[in-house]
């Protein structure tokens, strides 16, 4: 089994993978799993071992089915000059963010605990899997919450962890709802690819480069 196959297999079996996007872009690695498979223990591992923001990425079709706008579009269309100015900017690596809104499941309390976030993430993953629509979404979730939703723009337009992880799921026939958390270093910076690969090796997780996914997607 090649590395791509190992990563897909790990995700579908409920495990983690570590993904590095590319040098010259963010040059960061994310700890990633399928949303529908997440547990409170996995949320705890993400916040303690990776340390970045825990986000939930989905494919563009699912986002459109739920009528989720990009956060930057909401800011630009709010009719507030300050918000327009704040939203009308690109990141230093050239892209606009993939963020939409943040949510909690209605059965959560504060929404921030490992148990609460696991419930929100897992139930959203199930929503995407069953191709639920707007009524299903608003009946079970609320905003603003503690799980940040991301929408893939597709690898043809953007090549961040959001797009790469969704593309990997699509290639493997998995549900296109994935949990991402940036891996940070004790240096005050993002973990290097070398540090992230070493972490993956210690834990037995597949380590995959973004270019491997792009190449498979392009075939």
Q: Which residues are catalytic?
A: 30, 55, 93, 104, 146, 182
H or E element that contains 216:
helix 210-218
Maximum CA extent, the chain: 53
Residues 132, 36: Cα–Cα separation, whole Å: 14
Mention every residue, 6+ apart, whose C-beta is less than 8 A from residue 15: 33, 205
- Torsional sign, CA 184, 185, 187, 192: negative
Omega before 144 cis (within 30°)?
yes
Nearest to 116, CA basis, from 124, 125, 107:
107
- Torsional sign, CA 23, 38, 146, 58: positive
Task: Give the SS3 label for residue 152.
Answer: coil
């Amino acid at each position: 089994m090649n590395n791509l196959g190992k990563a897909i297999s790990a995700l579908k079996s409920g495990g983690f993978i570590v993904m590095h996007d590319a040098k010259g872009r963010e040059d960061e690695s994310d700890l990633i799993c399928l949303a529908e498979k997440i547990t409170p223990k996995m949320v705890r591992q993400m916040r303690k071992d990776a340390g970045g923001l825990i986000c939930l990425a989905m494919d563009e079709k699912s986002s459109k089915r739920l009528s989720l706008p990009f956060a930057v579009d909401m800011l630009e269309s709010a009719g507030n000059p300050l918000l327009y100015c704040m939203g009308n900017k690109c990141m230093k690596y050239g892209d606009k963010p993939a963020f939409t809104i943040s949510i909690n499941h209605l059965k959560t309390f504060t929404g921030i605990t490992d148990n609460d976030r696991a419930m929100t993430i897992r139930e959203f993953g199930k929503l995407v899997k069953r191709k639920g629509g707007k009524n299903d979404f608003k009946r079970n979730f609320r905003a603003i919450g503690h799980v940040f939703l991301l929408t893939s723009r597709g690898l043809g337009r953007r090549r961040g962890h959001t797009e790469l992880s969704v593309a990997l799921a699509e290639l493997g026939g998995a549900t296109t709802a994935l949990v991402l958390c940036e891996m940070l270093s004790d240096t005050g910076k993002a973990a290097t690819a070398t540090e992230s690969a070493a972490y993956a090796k210690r834990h037995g997780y597949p380590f995959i480069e973004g270019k491997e996914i792009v190449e498979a997607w392009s075939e």
